């Protein structure tokens, strides 16, 4: 969509290039090594098991001093390290952004108003409710609302957008953010933040992942992964007496590196366990979560909790404001309708003439329509020299031009009619019908009239101004519908106008003449039916609805109350972004599900690699299971372990980027993901393990 400036792009010019390179992995290495600390790693049960296994095999490798043992231990450590690396890389991206944010947190001094005058205090000491003065050149010391005055403010520090914005007391544009800079005028700000809990503090915490809490789905998935790990732990542990028995039945057979009289060797047993427990998803799970939040930040959206991001994926109903979201902000001329004896070309010509000096978006759109539809170019330079432009005023509700004694006027139907009648002119009978017709279709009619010097005025026709639905909105709503999301347009227009626009845009429903109470009622009604609702809002009167909605995206330009009430803030204040937020939420869940499926499906091939390697010496028939025809038992086990480790690295980019997401029905999406990650997960390791086996068996001295 319109969002192209990446957040903080001035401070971090490379942030839009999101490739994972070797350099990024290398930078994350120290962080990954620190994460080996079992005191933090235990929170990831799957990788914790791998770490314990690595430590155990290291002891065995040191004791036995075999190349096989050393390689197994090394690759098991690498498995843990790769998992940590995934997380560290994901966090590293946030850290760079946090650094840039921290630079804006300078040691601002605030001018606090007291009963007697003002005093200078350090910004961190400001309390909620304090009032401070800021003048041109001052950095705003904390989050708050303007309670007095109006000022232009440079908010580029948080939004990356260099154009200044206006902040004024009262109304919906009163909130200011600490760390931004007043460019002109003087304002009094009432501080609304608690010390240390400013917007920037929260942003830093969010992008660094410090305040990251596991989301409900992530917790549920963790439980499943832990259970699977326990099952496989049991399956491998209970294998030992079975193996001892199997070996004892064939006392003549020599010991192998996998099996001796004491059962399966520790090295091989740990290798089997690590290959079976879901290490792929276990290693990448937290990186997926961090990267999901990061993708939001890249689009300049701050989610106050991961829960909100997940909820966005679950949304059933989207409430979208009409203006700015579905339609362009302004109405545009779409048609010239002549009345009486006038022909369309004359009407177009006159309409263009009346609008040449009209710098309103509507006026410009009339010139554009005349140019595109009737090939009318701008007038030659000399032609307009004698023209007097009549600007629009609230009293006349008309605008126009006087040229060579000819008066041209356009404006609201009632005003122009009154003007024409006042000059003794006639309004053709069909004018009323045309005007009513345009109004009924949701448009705005503008009457065009002209009057030759001293003559009665004549109505030439009507300009049809209408709301223009943004390009591609219908397709987006169709996509939403395919995903099972209902879109509801919220507008202050009358029901007639609302219906016309709703039909054109292709939304499922609309709420006309909407008040905050009606919005609130609509959200509650949807939620009672078990649906999740997302909305955007900026005004204080939106705050209750934002708080009630499951996903409430506040515009950064809005009030502090709105920002507090929502669970996300869009720094670009672009209401269309709600749609992207939904997609990011879905992509986050899909990535987790896809990699879980892949991880579980991988087990099949690993069984076929390791089981024959372990027991074919005792029961030669089991070599039939060695369908990959792996070189030797040692190379088979090593290949499985190496594959298991490398697949983590191979999937880091996917985890960070998220799986490809195409809006489609659940059924189509499931089919695609089952084929790619389910079947792919079954087949890929067969190929991968075989390939690694070919490589290592060609290295002398290893097999």
Partner 1 sequence: MSATTVAGLAFAVSIVVAVSVSFRPLGDYMARIFTSPSHTRVEKAVYRTVGVDPEADQTWATYLRSVLAFSAVSILALYGLLRLQHHFGHPYAVPQMPPAQSFNTAVSFTTNTNWQSYSGESGLGYTAQFLGLAVQNFLSAAVGIAVAIALVRGFARSRTDRLGNFWVDLTRCTLRLLLPLSFLVAVIFVASGEIQNLHAYRSATGLAGGAQTLPGGPVASQEAIKQLGTNGGGFFNANSAHPFENPTTYTNWLSTFLEIVIPFALCRTFGKMVNDKRQGLAIAAVMGLLLVTTTGLLAGAQLAHHGTVPTAVGAATEGVETRFGVPDSAIFASTTTATSTGAVNSFHDSYTSLGGAVTLFNMMLGEVAPGGTGSGLYGMLVLAVLSVFIAGLMVGRTPEYLGKKVGRREVTFASLYILSTPAIVLTGTALAMSFAKERASMLNSGAHGFSEVLYAFTSAGNNNGSAFAGISVNTTWYNTALGLAMLFGRFLPMLFVLGLAGSLARQHHVPVSDGTLPTHRLQFVGFLTGVTVIVVALTYFPALALGPLAEGLR
307-336 residues in contact with partner 1 (CB under 8 A) are 310, 313-314, 316
* Shortest Å, Cβ 303 to partner 1: 16
Residue 91 neighbours by CB under 8 Å, 6+ apart: 28, 31, 208, 209, 290
Comparing CB distances to partner 1, the nearer of 364 and 531 is 531
- Say which of 145, 321, 467, 572 is annotated catalytic: 321
- Beta carbons of 400 and 390 less than 8 angstroms apart: yes
- Which residue's entry shows tokens 């409900």? 216
User: Residue 466 and residue 448: Cα distance in Å, rounded?
Assistant: 16
Please list every residue from 622 through 681 that binds partner 1, using CB under 8 A. 622, 624-625, 661, 665-667, 669-671, 673-674, 677-678
- Restricted to residues 169-188, the positions that interact with partner 1 (CB under 8 A) are none
Q: Considering only residues 465, 485, 500, 617, which one is a binding residue for partner 1 as defined by CB under 8 A?
A: 485
Largest alpha-carbon pair distance within the chain?
126
The answer to whether 627 and 608 have CB atoms below 8 angstroms apart is: yes
Contacts of partner 1 in 549-588 (CB under 8 A): 585-587
Q: Does 221 bind partner 1 (CB under 8 A)?
A: yes
- Helix (H/G/I), strand (E/B), else coil: 2: coil
481 binds partner 1 (CB under 8 A): yes
Residue number, 111 or 531, with CB nearest to partner 1: 531
Report the alpha-carbon angle 617-618-619, nearest 5.
100
Q: Write down the least CB distance from residue 316 to partner 1, Å.
A: 6
| String of DSSP letters for 389-409 | EE---TTT-EEEEEETTEEEE
Q: Which is nearer to partner 1, 141 or 278 (CB)?
A: 278
Q: Give the span between the Cα atoms of 442 and 21, in whole angstroms.
A: 54
Residue 220 sits in the site that holds partner 1 (CB under 8 A)? yes
Contacts of 658 (CB under 8 A, 6+ apart): 288, 291, 292, 295, 584, 587, 588, 590, 591
The binder of partner 1 chosen from 14, 114, 240, 698 (CB under 8 A): 240
Q: How far lies 496's CA from each of 92, 295, 323, 332, 442, in Å?
A: 53, 40, 16, 18, 6
Binding window for partner 1 (CB under 8 A); candidates: 36-44, 59-67, 226-234, 401-409: 226-234
CA-CA distance, 699 to 35, in Å (whole number)?
32
Per CB under 8 A, contacts with partner 1 among 129-158 are none
321 is catalytic: yes
530 is an interface residue for partner 1 by CB under 8 A: yes
Residues 65-124 that bind partner 1 (CB under 8 A): none
Q: Where in 24-63 is the site for partner 1 (CB under 8 A)?
A: none
Q: Are 560 and 542 in contact (CB under 8 A)?
A: no
Q: Which of residues 605-624 bind partner 1 (CB under 8 A)?
A: 607, 611, 615, 618-619, 621-622, 624
**590 binds partner 1, rule: CB under 8 A:** yes
CB of 640 vs partner 1, minimal distance in Å: 14
| Subset of 434-463 contacting partner 1 (CB under 8 A) | none
Nearer to partner 1, 547 or 625 (CB): 625
219 touches partner 1 (CB under 8 A): yes
Q: Which is nearer to partner 1, 292 or 461 (CB)?
A: 292
405 near partner 1 (CB under 8 A): no
Residue with Cβ nearer partner 1 (213 or 665)? 665
Q: Which position among 46, 367, 589, 655 is part of the footprint of partner 1 (CB under 8 A)?
A: 589
Euclidean distance between CA atoms 274 and 647, whole angstroms? 13
* Integer Cα distance of 355 and 368 in angstroms: 10
Q: Which two tokens stand for residue 162?
A: 């260099």
What is the smallest separation between the CB atom of 242 and partner 1, expressed in angstroms? 5
CB-CB neighbours of 254 under 10 Å? 6
Site for partner 1 in 278-297 (CB under 8 A): none
Please choose, out of 170-178, 180-188, 217-225, 407-415, the segment that lies near partner 1 by the rule CB under 8 A.
217-225
- Asked whether position 230 contacts partner 1 by CB under 8 A, the answer is yes
List the 181-182 sheet strands across, edge first. Answer: 165-168, 150-154, 181-182
Taking the least distance from each CB to partner 1, the nearer of 177 and 257 is 257
Smaller CB separation from partner 1, 208 or 583: 583
Radius of gyration of the chain from Cα atoms?
Answer: 34
Of how many residues is the chain composed? 703
**220: burial class by Cβ within 10 Å (0-12, 13-18, 19+)?**
exposed
d(CA 482, CA 668): 10
At CB < 8 A and 24+ separation, what contacts does 248-255 make? 249/618, 250/618, 253/617, 253/618
Supply the minimum distance, in Å, between the C-beta of residue 519 and partner 1: 20
Sheet containing 144-148, strands listed edge to edge, beginning at the edge strand earlier in sequence: 118-122, 109-113, 131-135, 186-191, 144-148, 175-176
Binders in 243-282 for partner 1, by CB under 8 A: 243-246, 249, 272
Q: Which of 125, 147, 242, 694 is in the footprint of partner 1 by CB under 8 A?
A: 242
Q: Smallest distance, Å, CB 639 to partner 1?
A: 18
Tell whether residue 523 is a contact of partner 1 (CB under 8 A).
no
Span 341-360, contacts to partner 1 by CB under 8 A: none
CB of 312 to partner 1, least distance (A): 10
Kindly list the catalytic residues. 321
């Amino acid at each position: 969509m319109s969002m192209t400036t990446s957040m903080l792009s001035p401070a971090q010019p490379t942030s839009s290039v999101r490739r994972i390179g070797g350099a990024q992995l290398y930078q994350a290495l120290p962080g990954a090594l620190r994460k080996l600390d079992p005191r933090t790693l235990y929170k990831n049960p799957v990788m914790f098991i791998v770490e314990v296994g690595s430590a155990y095999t290291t002891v065995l490798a040191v004791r036995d001093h075999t190349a096989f043992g050393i390689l197994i231990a090394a690759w098991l450590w690498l498995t843990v390290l790769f998992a940590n690396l995934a997380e560290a890389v994901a966090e590293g991206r946030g850290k760079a952004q946090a650094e840039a944010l921290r630079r804006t947190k300078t040691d601002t001094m605030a001018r606090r108003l007291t009963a007697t005058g003002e005093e200078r205090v350090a910004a961190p000491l400001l309390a909620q409710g304090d009032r401070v003065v800021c003048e041109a050149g001052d950095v705003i010391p904390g989050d708050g609302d303007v309670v007095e005055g109006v000022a232009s403010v440079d908010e580029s520090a948080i939004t990356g957008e260099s154009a200044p914005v206006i902040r004024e007391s009262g109304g919906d544009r009163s909130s200011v953010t600490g760390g931004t800079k007043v460019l002109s005028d003087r304002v009094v700000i009432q501080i609304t933040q608690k010390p240390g809990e400013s917007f920037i503090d929260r942003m830093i915490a969010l992008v660094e992942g410090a305040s990251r809490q596991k989301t409900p789905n992530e917790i549920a998935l963790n439980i499943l992964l832990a259970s699977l790990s326990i099952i496989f732990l049991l399956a491998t542990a209970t294998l030992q007496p079975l193996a001892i028995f199997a070996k004892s039945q064939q006392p003549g057979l020599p010991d192998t590196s996998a099996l001796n009289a004491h059962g399966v060797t520790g090295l091989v047993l740990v290798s089997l366990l690590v290959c079976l427990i879901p290490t792929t998803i276990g290693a990448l799970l937290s990186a997926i979560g961090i990267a999901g939040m990061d993708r939001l930040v890249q689009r300049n959206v701050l989610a106050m909790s991961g829960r909100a991001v997940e909820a966005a994926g679950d949304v059933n109903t989207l409430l979208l404001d009409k203006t700015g979201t579905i339609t362009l902000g302004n109405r545009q001329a779409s048609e010239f309708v002549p009345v009486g004896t006038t022909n369309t070309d004359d009407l177009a010509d006159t309409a263009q003439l009346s609008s040449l000096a009209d710098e309103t978006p509507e006026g410009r759109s009339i010139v554009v329509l005349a140019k595109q539809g009737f090939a009318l170019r701008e007038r030659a330079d000399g032609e307009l020299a004698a023209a007097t432009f009549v600007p629009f005023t609230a009293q006349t509700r008309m605008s126009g031009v006087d040229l060579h004694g000819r008066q041209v006027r356009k404006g609201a139907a009632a005003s122009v009619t009154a003007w024409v009648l006042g000059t003794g002119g006639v309004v053709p009978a069909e004018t009323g019908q045309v005007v009513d017709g345009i109004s009924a279709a949701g448009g705005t009619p503008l009457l065009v009239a002209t009057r030759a010097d001293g003559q009665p005025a004549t109505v030439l026709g009507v300009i049809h101004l209408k709301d223009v639905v943004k390009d591609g909105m219908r397709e987006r709503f169709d996509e939403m519908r395919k995903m099972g999301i209902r879109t509801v347009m919220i507008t202050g227009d009358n029901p007639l106008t609302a219906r016309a626009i709703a039909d054109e845009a292709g939304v499922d429903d609309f709420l006309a003449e909407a008040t905050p109470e009606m919005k609130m009622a609509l959200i509650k009604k949807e939620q009672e039916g078990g649906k999740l609702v997302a909305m955007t809002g900026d005004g204080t009167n939106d705050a209750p609805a934002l708080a009630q909605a499951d996903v409430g995206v506040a515009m950064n330009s809005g009030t502090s109350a709105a920002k507090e009430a929502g669970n996300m803030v869009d720094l670009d204040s672009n209401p269309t972004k709600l749609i992207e937020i939904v997609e990011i939420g879905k992509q986050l869940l899909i990535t987790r599900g896809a990699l879980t499926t892949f991880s579980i499906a991988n087990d099949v091939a690993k069984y076929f690699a390791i089981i024959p390697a372990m027991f074919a010496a005792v029961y030669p028939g089991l070599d039939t299971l060695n369908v990959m025809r792996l070189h030797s038992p040692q190379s088979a086990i090593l290949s499985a372990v190496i594959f298991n480790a490398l697949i983590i690295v191979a999937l880091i980019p996917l985890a960070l980027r998220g799986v490809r997401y195409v809006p489609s029905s659940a059924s189509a999406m499931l089919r695609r993901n089952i084929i790619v990650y389910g079947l792919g997960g079954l087949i890929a390791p067969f190929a991968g393990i075989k390939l690694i086996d070919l490589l290592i068996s060609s290295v002398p001295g290893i097999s």
